[in-house]
Amino acid sequence: MSGPERRTIHMSHYQGGTLKDKLDQGDQIFKTVEDFVNTYVEDTSKRRPIKKMLVATNGIAAVRCILSIRKLLMQLFRNDRIIKFICLTTEQEIRSNAEYLKLADHFVFSPGGDNRNNYANVEEIVNHAVEKGVDAVWAGWGHASENPELPKQLATRGIVFIGPPSTAMFSLGDKIASTIIAQTLDIPTIEWSGSGLKLDLNQKRGSEYVSVTQELFNQATVSDLYEGLRALEEHKIGYPLMIKASEGGGGKGIRKCKNEADFKENFVQVQTEVPGSPIFIMKCVENARHIEVQLIADRYENVIPVFTRDCSIQRRCQKIIEEAPASIAPKDTLRLGYESAGTVEYMYLPDEDKYFFLELNPRLQVEHPCTEMLASINIPAIQMQIAMGLPLNRITDIRLFYGLDRYGTTPLPEEIVLTDTEYSVIAARITSEVGVYLPLRGEYWFLCY
């Protein structure tokens, strides 16, 4: 069976050209959020009008959320204040004159200090959401954005989490669980301590979504140095290899080992950096490119890939250069109850034209503007529309991305994967360092480049 058709998008058609003019049918203006939702969501059980939102993050993430959604509100209602934004903040944020607080309609205070007291504190977020009577919570990236307990606690109180449900967040967001699911779906994976483990899909009951059992999860982990050495031999992982903490990220809880001496030293370091996190080991694929596929999913089990990002240039296991589009767009998508924006990461071997599943990030990533600029879409606004119950084929940005009429109802073409464009977008992270590798913290007054 042949794979899906791949189509190259010529972006000039979308930017002031013939296609935009052809599809421009005039804006549909709504008086209320309820009018908008009732018009676009046929299934009454999935209609969730959002009129008040708690932004449970800070910094540029909070700014992106508010500005992106207000842009959509102006298009839909000619009123960018029809949805109220309540921002979580601290005394330190107030003193720093944070930009996002200038955009908020209201803000609520949480204890200062470590983010465990505020933005990463699920109980604190949920209490504020209930007290203020919000309809939805947006957590952005970092902090509590990948904690399955947040959507779980909000759901019990009838509050929408703008992101995936808790079960999908764990099963697909955890590095170990998601790799087991990938193996179950016959998506290529690198040799690791859980090689060969698969779910029994025959035990799935009715419409119940797939999830990884604790027993299966534990089989893929290594609890100590000696278990790690046994797994290395049993699964023929070999050196070089990577030791990873499943709850790590951003360069923490990950070490490359070239030999057994490295393994013994680095295993303890990984345990120390991410205390209590399950640990697994994986073969290190060299001369590979690190490819990210931007996914967007609705609550009707529709999932689309929106181009790719190449983040192969890294330092201290952290991305330095992001480029979109990348040279490959794997067709696999995971239809396992996932909802909202997410990113699947692959290791791609260009010489062999092979790719291997790495992990799935169940949230909006910092790098998403690269994809937005190429595809001419507004991802935070799309997230909100999905949370309100809209299917992908009724979201204007998605329809225009596929070259469909703006306000139509036709399904999205299932057999087309949109790949390369005529353009590329590059994003770079700038950090300061002491010596060769140590990052430097503090205040910066001047930047010359």
Quick one: tokens of 193? 């301590």
Cα–Cα distance for residue pair 174/186, rounded to 1 Å: 18
Question: Residue 407, class by beta-carbon neighbours within 10 Å (0-12 exposed, 13-18 middle, 19+ buried)?
Answer: middle
- In sequence order, what are the beta bridge partners of 421? 9
Listed in sequence order, the residues at least 6 apart from 113 whose beta carbon sits closer than 8 Å to its beta carbon are: 90
- In sequence order, what are the beta bridge partners of 383? none
Q: Among 28, 73, 77, which residue's Cα sits nearest to residue 53?
A: 73
User: Which are the catalytic amino acids?
Assistant: 363
Cα–Cα distance for residue pair 176/214, rounded to 1 Å: 11
User: Tokens 């073409």 identify what position?
Assistant: 413
Cα–Cα distance for residue pair 389/290, rounded to 1 Å: 33
Listed in sequence order, the residues at least 6 apart from 396 whose beta carbon sits closer than 8 Å to its beta carbon are: 406, 407
**DSSP letters along 381-446, please?**
HHHHHHHHT--GGG-HHHHHHTT--TT--PPPPTTEEEEEES--EEEE----EETTTEE--S----
How many C-beta atoms lie closer than 10 Å to residue 381's C-beta? 22
Q: What 3-state DSSP class applies to 86?
A: strand
- In sequence order, what are the beta bridge partners of 85? 53
Answer for the pair 337, 316: CB distance below 8 angstroms, yes or no. no
- Pairing of β 289-297 and β 279-283: unpaired
DSSP-assigned letter for residue 210: P
Quick one: tokens of 114? 């470590």
Alpha carbon distances (Å) from 308 to 101, 330, 424, 429 = 32, 9, 11, 18
- Strand segments (E) across 270-389: 279-283, 289-297, 303-315, 318-324, 340-349, 354-361
Cα–Cα distance for residue pair 427/372, rounded to 1 Å: 12
Cα–Cα distance for residue pair 59/258, rounded to 1 Å: 38
